Amino acid sequence: MQKIVPNIWFDGNAEEGAEFYASVLPKTTGSVIARYPTDGLLDFQKPLAGKPLTAAVDIDGYRIILINAGDEFTPNESISFMLNFDPSVDPDARGTIDRVWDGLADGGQVVKELGEYPFSPRYGWVRDRFGVTWQLILTNPDGDPRPFVMPSLLFCGDAQNQAKPFIRQYTSLFDDSRIGMVVDYTTAAGPVRADSVMFGDFTLAGQWFTAMDSLDEKDFTFSCGVSLQVNCADQAEIDRLWDAISAVPDAERCGWCADRFGMSWQIVPADLGAHMTGPDSYAALMGMKKIVIADL
């Protein structure tokens, strides 16, 4: 099972989003995996009774969860998804990147035009019709291999210049973690310091992520629009990670918390569904901060 699963907040159209990504991204499927119960809901959730709760998008074996909820949160560029198109894996990688770009850009908005850049012969950054941002890059097949999907963290706003402390903290917190390449800015400019991260990559629990400090001032930062769900083996792991990560008491609710960088996490048992079969399980979960498995 994938240890860390990105969750994206959708405004009542998660099922539509899953179908869209399955039609646009290569080797991708989308499906509803859970529905809201018909009773035990909070007042603001009652209109969603029986409707999809979450949908799964599986991209070449990498899972992203779409949360079907309201308009409380929206994704932004602080967490985007980098897609690596490798000519050694796909002989028509350039053609594939162009087709995927056209699909994601349809009804969306370009952040950085698809074209040639010093770091790649083909790269672009796009916000799709649902507000989710994607970075598409034609990789160097002679370089170190990277997976097709990598969450990309942009440290900006209140989290500006915090990429390096984040990488250090989390690679020490998860097993099977390491720091890959980290390239610093050489001079201070705008909001960045000379030792801020221009680009870095690292693994957490064997999964690749990228991180950078924003070169420009931004009016947004991390939020519940995109959260990182950690599937824990048992209560002991939930307790350990919750104590290490949660830093904002007001953000603690039903397994959700926020760290000192403002990033949103969900610390949950890997077999959460198996604990949600009782008639009062959903109501019990809604009343919790940290999840206590025995109380579900």
Handedness of CA 17, 18, 23, 28 (dihedral sign): positive
What pLDDT does residue 272 have? 84
Query: Residue 229 phi/psi, 5° resolution?
Result: -90, 130
Q: Report the number of secondary-structure helices (H) and strands (E) in the chain.
A: 5, 15
How far apart CA 8 and CA 53 sit, in angstroms, is: 12
pTM across the whole model: 0.95
What pLDDT does residue 110 have? 98
Residues 213, 196 contacting (CB under 8 angstroms): yes
Query: Residue 82 phi/psi, 5° resolution?
Result: -90, 125
Write out the chain's pLDDT in tens, 296 residues: 899 999 999 999 999 999 999 999 999 999 999 888 877 777 777 777 888 999 999 999 999 999 999 999 999 999 999 999 999 999 999 999 999 999 999 999 999 999 999 999 999 999 999 999 999 999 987 778 899 999 999 999 999 999 999 999 999 999 999 999 999 999 998 999 999 999 999 999 999 999 999 999 999 999 999 999 999 999 999 999 999 999 999 999 999 999 999 999 999 999 887 776 777 777 888 889 999 999 88
Taking every pair of Cα atoms in the chain, the longest distance, rounded to a whole number of angstroms, is 59
Nearest-10 crossing angle of helices 235-245, 163-173: 160
What pLDDT does residue 36 have? 83
CB proximity list for 46: less than 8 A, separation 6 or greater: none
What pLDDT does residue 284 have? 85
Question: Which residue ranges form the domains of the chain, and what is each CATH number?
Answer: 1-73+225-255 (3.10.180.10), 79-213 (3.30.720.110)
Do the strands 149-155 and 207-213 form a parallel or antiparallel pair, or are they unpaired? parallel
